[in-house]
């Protein structure tokens, strides 16, 4: 009887049943057998494979130590001598998705074995690491666990069987950005003309080279009189009051902050800092006005160049934050800005 294939599963602290956000700073650890979704997958493996181990790491720990954490996790995974690694599913959890992706990259490069994961398409982990894992498309929350697990397991078993995988849409994983040469019956020129004719007739067709889908935002009319305009600051540069009172994450932010600057003519390292983990914070911490120009806008306010600097600024971290989360944040605070009579926003990054 052939030996069963060996699966190692990667999970965060929540799905690893250690705890919630209060345990997000735990370093990597390993456990024999399956835990959480890894344990629930046993019946789906059909005696073809065993989950021999589970590796768990806190999302915050991983996000703040990506390179070293990935190395630690891979060493623990390697100790189980697996044939394949399954990570997640991460759904739309940005930090978790990035961690699953970084683990997939490290496993692919260091251990040269396949990785299967599951994520919501807008999870930042997809764009960042889709080349390193076969990612099953999931819904945006853990409510889709029952649908995601069978898809991930079936894909993993097919990979383990040695069967040749077909196109992503046929096999149930998201496109990986990898193009292969294929022999087909019709030459490219005929296929292109056929697609053009279908497009002109309004018929359905499938492109062979899908293009990125970018949002188009129509610019607002120019402000005619800046001397009477109320200006607000919004930033993805992570500037927060000292101590980061909302505990905005350094990567894959799940929240934003709203802070009062009415008493400040400028910001300093004594009262503000950056929570951002994607760049060297030294200069932003020394002079937070380098990221959000409170000092310059105060001067312009005094000189009558602008009418007023809004008393609140809104801030989050752009490092790995999901597009869906960013849209949600903006939708919420944009209504407040309109209600407060703000005429324009200065949006700064890093």
Cβ atoms of 62 and 69 closer than 8 Å? yes
Alpha-carbon gap, residue 41 to 88, rounded angstroms = 12
From the candidate CATH numbers 3.40.50.280, 3.40.50.11540, 3.30.2040.10, 3.40.50.720, the one assigned to the domain spanning 5-171? 3.40.50.280
Q: In angstroms, rounded to a whole number, what is the distance separating the alpha carbons of residues 136 and 96?
A: 15
Give the residue among 226, 240, 218, 217 at the shortest CA–CA distance from 344: 226
Termini Cα distance of the chain? 58
At residue 290, the pLDDT reads 95
Could you give the CA distance from residue 87 to residue 19 in angstroms, rounded to a whole number?
18
Q: Is the peptide bond before 83 cis (omega within 30 degrees of 0)?
A: no
Q: Enter the pTM of the model.
A: 0.68
Q: How many CB atoms lie within 10 A of CB 101?
A: 30
Per-residue model confidence (pLDDT) at position 2: 60
Tokens, residue 222: 């120019």
Q: What is the pLDDT at residue 113? A: 94
pLDDT at 231 (0 to 100): 96
Q: Is the dihedral of CA 67, 69, 72, 73 positive or negative?
A: negative
Cα 243–chain centre separation: 24
Q: Please say whether the beta carbons of 13 and 55 come within 8 A.
A: no
The CA-atom distances, in angstroms, between 95 and each of 104, 119, 244, 325 are 14, 12, 18, 12
| H helices present in the chain, as ranges | 37-40, 59-64, 66-78, 94-110, 124-129, 145-161, 168-171, 188-201, 282-286, 294-303, 323-339
Within 8 A by CB and 6+ apart from 230, the residues are 307, 308, 309, 310, 340, 341, 342, 343, 344
Return the structure tokens found at 211: 């293009």
What residue ranges of the chain are covered by domains with CATH 3.40.50.280?
Answer: 5-171
The candidate with the shortest Cα–Cα distance to 133, out of 169, 96, 108, is 108
Q: Check residue 1 and give its pLDDT.
A: 42
Q: What is the DSSP string of 179-195?
A: ------SS-HHHHHHHH
CA 56 to chain CA centroid, nearest Å: 19
| 3-class SS shares of the chain: helix, strand, coil, % to 5 | 35, 20, 45
Residuewise pLDDT in 10s, the chain (350 residues): 467 889 999 999 999 998 888 888 899 999 999 888 888 888 788 778 889 999 999 988 898 888 889 999 999 999 999 999 999 899 988 789 889 999 999 999 999 999 999 999 888 888 888 889 999 999 888 888 989 999 999 899 999 988 888 777 777 888 887 777 778 888 888 999 999 999 999 999 888 777 777 777 888 899 999 999 999 999 999 999 999 999 898 877 888 999 999 999 999 999 999 999 877 889 999 999 999 999 999 999 999 999 999 999 999 998 877 777 788 888 889 999 999 999 999 999 87
């Amino acid at each position: 009887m052939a030996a069963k294939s060996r699966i190692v599963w990667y999970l965060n602290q929540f799905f690893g049943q250690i705890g919630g956000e209060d345990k997000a700073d735990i370093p990597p650890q390993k456990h024999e057998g399956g835990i959480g979704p890894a344990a629930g997958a046993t019946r789906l493996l059909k005696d073809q494979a065993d989950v021999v181990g589970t590796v768990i790491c806190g999302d915050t720990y991983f996000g703040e130590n990506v390179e070293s954490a990935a190395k630690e996790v891979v060493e623990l995974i390697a100790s189980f001598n697996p044939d394949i690694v399954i990570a997640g599913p991460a759904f739309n959890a940005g930090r978790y998705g990035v961690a699953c992706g970084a683990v997939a990259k490290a496993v692919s490069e260091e251990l040269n074995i396949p990785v299967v994961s599951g994520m919501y398409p807008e999870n930042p982990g997809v764009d960042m690491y889709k080349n390193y894992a076969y990612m099953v498309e999931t819904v945006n929350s853990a409510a889709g666990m029952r649908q995601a697990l069978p898809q991930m397991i079936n894909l993993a078993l097919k990979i383990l069987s040695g069967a040749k995988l077909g196109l992503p849409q046929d096999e149930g994983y998201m496109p990986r950005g990898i193009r292969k040469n294929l022999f087909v019956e019709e030459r490219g020129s005929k296929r292109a003309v056929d697609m053009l004719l279908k497009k002109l007739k309004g018929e359905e067709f499938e492109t062979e080279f899908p293009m990125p889908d970018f949002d188009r935002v129509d610019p607002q009319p120019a402000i005619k009189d800046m001397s009477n305009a109320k200006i607000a600051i919004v930033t993805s540069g992570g500037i927060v009051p000292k101590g980061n009172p909302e505990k905005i994450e350094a990567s894959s932010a799940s929240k934003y902050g709203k802070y009062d600057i009415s008493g400040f003519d400028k910001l300093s390292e004594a009262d503000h800092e950056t929570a951002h983990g994607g760049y060297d914070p030294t200069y932003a911490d020394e002079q937070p006005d380098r990221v959000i120009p409170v000092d310059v806008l105060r001067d312009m306010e005094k000189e009558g160049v602008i009418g007023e600097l809004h008393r609140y600024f809104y801030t989050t971290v752009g490092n790995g934050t999901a597009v869906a989360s960013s849209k949600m944040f903006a939708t919420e605070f944009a209504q407040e800005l309109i209600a407060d009579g703000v005429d324009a926003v200065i949006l700064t990054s890093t």
